[in-house]
A = this chain, B = another copy of it.
Amino acid sequence: MEVADEDRLRSSDSLLADELMETWTILSEEERIEGFRLLAPEEAEDLFLGLDAPHQVELLRSLPPRERQIWLRQLPPDDAADALQEMPEEERESYLALIDAETRREVTALMAYAEDEAGGLMSPRYARLRPEMRVDEAISYLRRQARERLETIYYVYVLDAEQRLLGVVSFRELFAAPPDKTVRDVMRTDVVSVPDDMDQEAVSDVIAQHDLMAVPVLDSEGRIKGIVTIDDIVDVVREEATEDIQKIGGTEALDAPYLQVGMREMVRKRAGWLAILFIGEMLTATAMSYYEDRIARAVVLALFIPLIISSGGNAGSQATTLVIRAMGMGEVRLRDWWRVFRRELAAGLALGAILGAIGLLRVVLWPKRAATYGEHFLLIGYTVSIALVGVVMWGALAGSMLPFVLRRLGFDPASASAPFVATLVDVTGLVIYFSVATFFLRGTLL
């Protein structure tokens, strides 16, 4: 009976592998090991290589030492470096000792770089040629290189004796070239490259802008240290988008999957911004106390406070997220601030007019309008309506300009989060509302 069951599992191996991969994060350590051991060798290899570094480390740690070595050696040097960097410092040595000498040298060199710079992303296993080789020699030389593990042979880099980058030839071009030409004849010399300390986001922009499949990484002397391939860039783009989204939501970047962040860490990353916003928002209480006597005289004014200030906050939240993302995508630059200002002025006016109209109708057509808002309901309606136009327009302007100000001051524009803008707009929204109210209601209610 048990055997039959195991057979059934074996025959649907790749289904099991897919399922295991999908549920990995929610399985317990025992369930993972158990599932992992049920896989056929190639399936297990695919699964292990497909995990991200923290999960690879978890799995390695729960395996007996001999298996640990087998699996650690499956990792290409860049992934091995990532995995080792996930471990506490004191454990790294014992794992490094499991790797063969040459790879260990590569891994140690990679570990010198920060994770989020070009050097931390690159693989040292790229295809290389000398310029004086003939095309047919080059192809059979590459054939030998391909037997070792190469990250990609999409591009082949042409180096001088000092490892300085002379040119690049795509494998397809080399392959299609006449066999008796030299590599120098067919290579391109205008190579796009990045320095080893370039930030990963900038690397991803370079690759996207030039439509590359890989980019070589050079040290300060122009020597090639490795290549960053486009599949690493997919992860970078996802990571950076996640950071932006979390900042826009008013949290510090979590730097780890939501369910894996410890509770203390989670509270710390959220409490900071929440407390800053709270202290900023206290200004509303100060502003309100300034208008306290007016509220006492016309309590009906208080009814519309949340409605009006939240509308400003919503308009500001829209504007700030649109501008932050447009900046992140390189569609909007610092010098575009005036164009954005004019657009948001117009959009804010239109949006304010729409909300103002709805607000006016709400007050004027309310069935029990006189009972709820008193005999001056029409004046209240005008007050709400005009205040909405002002507050929404102000929200759109403040929300769109704040990312420019932050960027100009050297901060991350994504810190102009929706809650941050809403808080800013709340205080000024109150001032706008009570100023409009004073204008319309002086002599009647106020």
Binding site for B on A (CB under 8 A): 14, 21-22, 25-26, 46, 49-50, 142-143, 146-147, 150, 152-154, 171-172, 175-176, 190, 204, 207-211, 213, 230-231, 233-235, 237-238, 241-242, 244-246, 248-251, 254, 257-259, 263, 266-267, 270-271, 273-275, 277-279, 281-282, 284-285, 288-289, 292, 295-296, 299-300, 302-307, 309-311, 313-315, 317-318, 320-326, 329-333, 336, 339-340, 343, 346-347, 350-351, 354-355, 358-359, 362, 372, 392, 417-419, 422-423, 426, 430
Contact = CB atoms under 8 A, between A and B. Distances in A.
Contacts of A150: 172
A271 B351 contact: yes
Contacts of A237: 234, 237-238, 241
Given A250-B318, A321-B248, A358-B278, A190 B234 contact: no
Contacts of A284: 306-307, 310
26 contacts: A146-B172, A150-B172, A153-B175, A208-B238, A230-B231, A230-B234, A237-B237, A244-B245, A246-B322, A249-B321, A254-B322, A258-B322, A258-B331, A266-B347, A267-B354, A273-B314, A277-B310, A278-B311, A278-B314, A278-B358, A292-B302, A296-B296, A302-B305, A306-B426, A313-B419, A317-B417
Contacts of A263: 343, 346-347, 350
A50 B418 contact: no
A325 to B, nearest CB: 5
Contacts of A277: 310-311, 314
Given A143-B175, A147-B176, A213-B231, A347 B267 contact: yes
A300 B204 CA distance: 54
A430 B302 CA distance: 12
B266 A343 contact: yes
B275 A355 contact: yes
B426 A321 contact: no
B307 A306 contact: no
A210 B147 CA distance: 22
Nearest to A179: B143
Select the residue from A14, A241, A246 with max chain B CB neighbours within 10 A: A241
A234 B307 CA distance: 41
B307 A358 contact: no
A313 B313 CA distance: 11
Given A172-B146, A343-B266, A426-B310, A241 B245 contact: yes
Contacts of A209: 21, 50
Contact of A267 (B233, B271, B351): B351
Nearest to A233: B234
A370 to B, nearest CB: 13
Contacts of A346: 263
Contacts of A143: 175-176
A281 B146 CA distance: 64
A279 B358 contact: yes
Give 4 closest A-B pairs by Cβ, nearest first.
A249-B321, A241-B241, A258-B326, A284-B306
Contact of A332 (B234, B259, B299): B259
A143 B173 CA distance: 10
A364 to B, nearest CB: 14
Contacts of A241: 237-238, 241, 244-245
